[in-house]
Amino acid sequence: MAARIYAGDVTADDLEILVENLRPQAPYAVLEKVDDVGFPAGSEAIDPAAWDEGRIFGPALELHWSCIGDDFRVVLTREDDGDGDGLPQVELLEEPGYERKEHAYYLWGEEDIRIGRKMEYRAIPGGGRAQLVVAEFYDGAGELRHWRYVRLQREEDL
């Protein structure tokens, strides 16, 4: 299926509505600010405006936001039949012009002393090293043009 990319600038209130609307389809999240990184479970409430940058994601979509002054720049990537939730479509990635590949990347270990704090991957309880699975979209020349987060998993789940 093709990936449709929507983007725009929104207020904190609009971002909260977007996250609330999309969260049922996006059980994973990566939330970032200068002094913290969070990986909340799908059942946990998220206050997106409390984070400088964040992503909620799942098998069919990813919503990525970053703080720009008092507002937020958002990019929504959908690989399902859903719409842009009021955001304008800015790109369509479909075959034969694009190839989609998934790759798994290791995340920090929960007890890695180099980062100075314990990482808590609450969205993926259990043992084994935490991994982030990313969908990467390559154009006809083999250049990476876009990527989105798909899921978190444990190495033992493979």
CB-based contact 60:78 (threshold 8 Å): yes
Please give the full DSSP string across 27-79, using - where no structure is assigned: -EEEEEETTEEEB--TTS---GGGSSEEEEE-SSEEEEEEEETTEEEEEEEE-
**Is the pLDDT at 110 greater than 90, yes or no?**
no
Q: Could you tell me the residue ranges of all domains in the chain?
A: 3-93, 98-157
pLDDT number for residue 157: 56
Q: Is the pLDDT of residue 158 over 60?
A: no
- What does the mean pLDDT of the chain come to? 92
Average of per-residue pLDDT across 101-125: 86
Confidence of residue 47 (pLDDT cuts 50, 70, 90): very high
Distance CA 77, CA 53 (A): 16
